[in-house]
Structure 1
Amino acid sequence: MAVSVSTFNVNSIRSRVDLIVRWLTEKRAVDILCLQEIKCESEQFPFEAFESLGYHCAVNGQKRLNGVAICSKLPLSSVKTLFGNDTLDREKRLIEAQVGDTILLNCYIPRGGMEGEERYDYKMAFYDALRNYCKSLLDAGRNVLLTGDFNVALTDLDVYDPDVFEGAVGFLPEEKRKLKRLIETGFCDCYRRLHPKSRAFTWWDYRSAGIWRDEGMRIDYIFASGDLCEACLSAEVDLWTRRRRTPTPSDHAPLVATFSQL
């Protein structure tokens, strides 16, 4: 049975829940929804809205900032919100659950800053810690699906104009190296594997109304290991939620991938 998986930075789940429910009921009833930047404590998550649609939800929330969640129509087991690593556990940016035989990791990488700033160092350290954690899972022979907002556009194809982003946070050389090293632990980029030369973005600046000119970045990804990579049938950005005027959209759009099995 095919399984659809979406990653979506919602930029406040309580501000966006009506829009997401409309998307799930009117446009695309995905099987697994990985949410980032929910900006609420776990107990404030709108469980009922998702449970009424048949989802089981696991949440790692934080007051006003960060926070991640997994909502799945398939059973979730072995939910993990603490990883025994000071960098990964410093803020609520990572959640893990098992779906069938697959380990699903949903993350919200720090936005970072310019080199020399503490925010930059934290982002680099988070990438290193996440890479080491993923490597331990892959070395143990686990099937891993890694989703989320990685706050890095990897190549020139992942921004609308490389000259505009040169020297900017999210497109710095060391950031791209860190993301590449993470992928090289044993993942494929599902979208890029299926669309090797296409431009499709997942984030557009609110301030410039860039969505209407498609002036964006691809910073949200679904990475799959081994057999899961081969099982990926499709991957696309769904612009339906981002092009709404009401309810107010997130500055991101969901990326959706379909797998023949998990």
Structure 2
Amino acid sequence: MGVSVCSFNVNSIRSRVDLIVRWLTEKRAVDILCFQEVKCEAEQFPHDKFEALGYQSVVNGQKRLNGVAITSRLPLEDIKTEFGDDMLDREKRLIQARVGETVLLNCYIPRGGPEGEERHAYKMAFFDALRSYVEKLLKVHDKVMLLGDFNVALTDLDVYDTEVFEGAVGFLPSEQAKMEALLQSGLNDCFRKLHPDEKAFTWWDYRTAAIWRDEGMRIDYILGSEPLCPALENIEVDLWTRRRRSPTPSDHAPLVARFKSL
């Protein structure tokens, strides 16, 4: 039957939980959900809503900002929310768990800012720390999946119009270089594995109703180590939640991959 894995920046889990429950019950029953920007502490996470559907949830939460969670119908083991690195632990942006033979690392990369500003420097340093951590992880585990909101559109294929995004945060050459270095640590972009030339986006600006013109960016990724790639069967952006008018959706859509096994 395979295992489905989802990366989804929900932009406040408590604001989206009813829509997510509808998606899971009416559209597709995903096995493992990796959420970013849950924007709540662990005790405020709607564990009960997911437990009612057969999921367990682990959370690395933060009040009003950031926060990541893994919600799974499969057993989660070796949960990790602290990584022993100030850059990775300063804000709640990372959570790790093992499912079967596969280590899942769910991340929310800082959005950053214009070059020369402190938030840009923080984003660059976070990428460096994450790459170093992933390299160490890959020395111990064959199957590693890093997924989440990376806040970087890697190539021209990942934005609807390169002229619109030229010089914009999320499409800066310095950010793309850090993303490429992360991939070079031993990870594969699962979407590009199966869709090498396709334009498909995961984020659309709320303010301009961009979803209806498909004027977006692909900034959410599922990355897998080489031993995971033969098991990859399918990966797609599911637009069902993003196209809802009520309840109000996130500005991201879920990215869902199916693997033969983990």
TM range (shorter): over 0.9
Q: Given the alignment of the two structures, is residue 171 of structure 1 paired with residue 162 of structure 2, yes or no?
A: no
Corresponding residue number in structure 1 for 2:237: 237
Corresponding residue number in structure 1 for 2:155: 155
Corresponding residue number in structure 2 for 1:180: 180
Report the TM-score when normalising by structure 2: 0.99
Give runs of ≥4 in structure 1 deviating > 3 Å: none
Q: List per-residue Cα deviations over 1:32-86 (Å, max 9, x = no partner).
A: 0000000001110000000111111110000000000000110001100000000
SS at match of 1:48: helix
Q: How many residues align?
A: 262
Root-mean-square deviation (Å): 0.6
Q: How much has 1:140 moved relative to structure 2?
A: 2.2
Q: List per-residue Cα deviations over 1:145-176 (Å, max 9, x = no partner).
A: 11100000000000000111010000000100
Report % sequence identity: 72
d(CA) in 2 for partners of 1:210, 1:185: 34
Report the TM-score when normalising by structure 1: 0.99
Q: How much has 1:226 moved relative to structure 2?
A: 1.4
| Amino acid in the other structure paired with 2:47 | F
Corresponding residue number in structure 2 for 1:3: 3
SS at match of 1:98: strand
Contact 2:103/2:141 (8 A) holds in 1 = no
Q: Given the alignment of the two structures, is residue 57 of structure 1 paired with residue 57 of structure 2, yes or no?
A: yes
Corresponding residue number in structure 2 for 1:218: 218
Corresponding residue number in structure 2 for 1:75: 75
Corresponding residue number in structure 2 for 1:193: 193
SS at match of 1:95: strand
Q: How much has 1:143 moved relative to structure 2?
A: 1.1
Corresponding residue number in structure 2 for 1:119: 119
Corresponding residue number in structure 2 for 1:133: 133
Contact 1:187/1:229 (8 A) holds in 2 = no
| Amino acid in the other structure paired with 1:17 | V
Any stretches of 5+ residues in structure 2 without a counterpart? none
Corresponding residue number in structure 2 for 1:247: 247
d(CA) in 1 for partners of 2:178, 2:100: 30
| Amino acid in the other structure paired with 2:257 | A
SS at match of 2:48: helix
| Amino acid in the other structure paired with 1:66 | N
* Equivalence map 1:7-18=2 (5 Å): 7-18=7-18
Q: List per-residue Cα deviations over 1:79-106 (Å, max 9, x = no partner).
A: 0000000000000000000101111000
SS at match of 1:134: helix
